[in-house]
Amino acid sequence: MNVGLQLYTTRRLGGLQQQLLMAQQVGYRHVETVGFHDMAVKDVVDSCAAFQLKVTSAHFDWPEFETRFQDILWFLEASGCQVVVMPWLPQSDRPSTRAGWGQLIRTMRIWAKDLADIGVRFAYHNHDYELRPLDGTTALDLILKEPLIYWQPDVGWLAHSGEDVGFWLRRYPTKITSIHAKDIAPGAGRGDEVWRDLGDGVLDWADIITSLEACENVDLFVEHDESSDYHRTLTSGFTVLNRALGARNCAVVS
């Protein structure tokens, strides 16, 4: 498992190069990009390479898939990235019926097939709305029934929804490409007020990592939607996850 940084965390920290510099200084070697960072595709790739940060995963939203698919393909080839993630749906585009989700899934199936043909996995990133009951199932279950659609669990949102995080991670071990690692303080407020730096919330990271043991090649991306101290967020996330991974490895050896 690699510990990486989801660059959405630092989106307000100057430009991309400033964000990458901080990630490198903290010790990260892997990042997950967010669209094209309002830059030319080549400039994003070159910036990550300049700071010796590997693009292990990349987020592109629905309009980017619809209108810039060739740019996405070029980015993947130039960066060597082999995982693409659909990060979210605007509230106005979220279906309320099984048929509505079926229509979206059929479109994602086409993108997933095109990407699979070049050796890239297409994954879906959950929030809370995909976990609501839907005709005896959930939208997330419907999505993950697709053979070529993988999953990037956001464990913070799983916990926020009142779900058993370990149960969900063990339910789809062959589907998980990576996780978004962010912590939560339930009851601390509304919306983004509940998120915390890793180690300052209620999630048990050693247990979460144990729940991922049946998965292969899972990356752990530190994320905090509204950090008030970027260096602290990046440092605590990097430290907590590496400590949990180290403890697991020691237990396996012993």
Which mean pLDDT values do the consecutive 10-residue runs of the chain (254 residues) have?
97 97 98 98 98 98 97 98 96 95 98 98 97 96 98 97 95 97 89 92 96 93 96 98 81 34
Query: Kind of pairing, strands 137-138 and 133-134?
Result: antiparallel
Nearest to 154 by CA among 216, 102, 89, 88: 88
Q: Greatest CA span in the chain, whole angstroms?
A: 52
Confidence at residue 251, expressed as pLDDT on a 0 to 100 scale: 43
Confidence at residue 248, expressed as pLDDT on a 0 to 100 scale: 65
CB 35: neighbour CB atoms within 10 A?
Answer: 20
Confidence at residue 250, expressed as pLDDT on a 0 to 100 scale: 44
Confidence at residue 253, expressed as pLDDT on a 0 to 100 scale: 32
Q: Which residues contact 136 (CB under 8 A, 6 or more apart)?
A: none
Query: For residue 2, what are the CA distances in angstroms to 28, 186, 193, 207?
Result: 9, 28, 28, 17
Confidence at residue 70, expressed as pLDDT on a 0 to 100 scale: 98
Confidence at residue 190, expressed as pLDDT on a 0 to 100 scale: 78
Confidence at residue 67, expressed as pLDDT on a 0 to 100 scale: 97
Query: Kind of pairing, strands 3-6 and 219-222?
Result: parallel
Confidence at residue 131, expressed as pLDDT on a 0 to 100 scale: 96
Does the predicted TM-score (pTM) go above 0.75?
Answer: yes
